[in-house]
Structure 1
């Protein structure tokens, strides 16, 4: 249990008996989904990787072992890069932020130790230190009212942030590092990093003084539905079963920077058109009952791909999903299915 999870229980935001961390829900998933669609959702990211990288070789080191060109990274600008293994498979995709103090890596859920161990494996003679920052934590602000709400809380200076930029902002004498993101079909959202006690006060004030905003804590159930609807990948899609080509993240790979871990395999896939799968949004006529990942097959029972994330929308009687589809089926009219427990459920592509 994180300091935020304990705080949510102490303050009465979690009253149910579900012990999942982070919380699957606070009130109920339907209410929280409505907040994400129309208001301001506050999401606990304290289980996500947050690593502080320091030392005179830090920037060059990260440049040499990840896919993107980080040598020109400047303060005030956030970028993404991918750490891959020797086979070109994804270890993690991270947001990279450079401040005067350090370079910060924001990764996926429960990847702190794994990512730190992987980075340490390649530190030999470099002046580089990688550490978890236990005194800091992160929340995410999501929803169509987010920019207006953030301006209300932090002042007009927030409006100076454009996509993939960050700054330090003050609220009630406390300072926070705030990054703004803007994804297609998802919209703008913010990651706020600060001392745990400061973030607790910010959350409590936001919940007690909502002003004109529809503000609420949003658990993982509501967020999963939103991200899957919009096709936003998470650790279920960004892991060592897949490579950046398949994940559609080739814009975060530099083909001019020279060597990095996994570079030969990724370059060969590009040169010889060897990419076998591609990520797509899908829907399934039926309820997968949380059994993901699950294989997709064609009419003959041949492997057509894998659904990696799924969320059942009861009102529609279908499961929304994100899937890796084999290349031959991407433009095919062949019918695809999930076959489980003697039941055959049709799979259809959604607009990506």
Structure 2
């Protein structure tokens, strides 16, 4: 049986269409994917992300241990800042892509994908060094995201100016009664937004507070369907689709997260060799130039020769066209390259485009309520 999140009762009251997602019962949609998607693009949406995992690493060698585990560099990361990074295995494959929160050099937190909580925890234990403690806090915290151009004023009304004024990829800890809530200016939608970690016992009250103050701004609850179309438009990777244990950060186009100047990290030697020789395949963004919806596992062709496979695809609610990500042979990865995608036995025209498909207009500024 799938597990209920702390917000299950709220979802039932809102009439959500619930689905089993990696062992958690979560909303797929409340109204329609398109309506929820566009609410996030134009106003704001609220998501239950309590299926995500939180693993704390602490102790005198916590930072040194993390430095060996991740490919990115947390050495110069200030306290109160957030870092996106892969964790790689010895073959350079991605164990998971995580968000790292640095409270101090002796206390850090990894936010991991729900399907990988146990895998990452076991990987950390397997590579654990002296003077390091690893604790899985996933059952102690729920996670709520508020995303969209009106997210900042909603968060300010609900949680205060200090939270709403955070810079991108920074976080703050706040006392909520006797409990501690962590708020970060992060997200998975391509919009401005915040992610809020609160004890499971406080999740419903936090959700209700955000829904109440966000009503005037048009805040809508949004499900997994909209979350997936939003992240795909934003060119953000989905573990299990776009990356896994067999793909490397260099192939996935996130080579900027691999810091070779570090003394050592797991997978460094293999990734250095791949950098020197060049990747054989590369993750691309593509858009259909004919009517159709690309989906994962659809084959990609050039001149009737299969050159790759779609890993994520959808009909974009914002652009009103089919978009996708997928791996192709490196020589076909250049922007503008014409391709075809086999959809139900028909090869439909497509082309390689630059990712992300959707870019936040940074000059838009932030609205007030």
TM-score, with normalisation over the residues of structure 2? 0.85
Rounded Cα–Cα distance in structure 1 between residues aligned with 2:18 and 2:274: 48
* Aligned residue number for residue 105 of structure 1: 110
Q: What SS is found at the alignment partner of 1:68?
A: coil
* Aligned residue number for residue 93 of structure 1: 97
Q: Deviations over 1:62-92 (max 9, x none)?
A: 1112212223333211112221111111111
Gaps of 5+ in 2: 356-369
Q: What SS is found at the alignment partner of 1:7?
A: helix
* Aligned residue number for residue 3 of structure 1: 5
Please identify, of 35-44 and 168-177, the stretch whose mean Cα deviation from structure 2 is larger: 168-177
| CA 1:333–1:224: 2 relative to 1, 3 Å | closer
Residue among 193, 200, 208 paired with 2:204: 200
| CA 1:328–1:179: 2 relative to 1, 3 Å | same
Residue among 120, 134, 145 paired with 2:150: 145
| CA 1:223–1:9: 2 relative to 1, 3 Å | closer
Please identify, of 64-73 and 216-225, the stretch whose mean Cα deviation from structure 2 is larger: 64-73
Please identify, of 216-225 and 199-208, the stretch whose mean Cα deviation from structure 2 is larger: 199-208
**Paired residues, what number?**
346
Q: CA deviation at 1:38?
A: 1.4
Gaps of 5+ in 1: none
| CA 1:343–1:200: 2 relative to 1, 3 Å | same
Q: CA deviation at 1:160?
A: 3.9
Rounded Cα–Cα distance in structure 2 between residues aligned with 1:275 and 1:327: 7
Q: Deviations over 1:224-275 (max 9, x none)?
A: 1121122122212232232111222222211111221110111112223x11
Rounded Cα–Cα distance in structure 1 between residues aligned with 2:19 and 2:269: 46
Rounded Cα–Cα distance in structure 1 between residues aligned with 2:317 and 2:161: 41
| CA 1:174–1:31: 2 relative to 1, 3 Å | farther
Please identify, of 171-180 and 219-228, the stretch whose mean Cα deviation from structure 2 is larger: 171-180
Q: What SS is found at the alignment partner of 2:79?
A: coil
Rounded Cα–Cα distance in structure 1 between residues aligned with 2:334 and 2:154: 42
| CA 1:51–1:153: 2 relative to 1, 3 Å | same
Q: CA deviation at 1:278?
A: 2.8
Q: Where do residues 152-191 of structure 1 align in structure 2 (5 Å cutoff)?
A: 152-170=157-175, 175-181=180-186, 186-191=190-195
Rounded Cα–Cα distance in structure 2 between residues aligned with 1:228 and 1:169: 32
2:55 and 2:109 in contact (8 A); partners too: yes
* Aligned residue number for residue 366 of structure 2: none
* Aligned residue number for residue 262 of structure 1: 267
Q: CA deviation at 1:309?
A: 0.8
1:97 and 1:104 in contact (8 A); partners too: yes
* Aligned residue number for residue 277 of structure 1: 281
2:342 and 2:348 in contact (8 A); partners too: yes
Rounded Cα–Cα distance in structure 2 between residues aligned with 1:19 and 1:82: 26
* Aligned residue number for residue 232 of structure 1: 236
Q: Deviations over 1:7-37 (max 9, x none)?
A: 2345x12354656632110222122112111
Does 2:327 correspond to 1:320? no
Does 2:33 correspond to 1:32? no
| CA 1:342–1:93: 2 relative to 1, 3 Å | closer
RMSD: 2.6
1:38 and 1:214 in contact (8 A); partners too: no
1:135 and 1:196 in contact (8 A); partners too: yes
1:163 and 1:181 in contact (8 A); partners too: yes
Q: CA deviation at 1:212?
A: 2.7
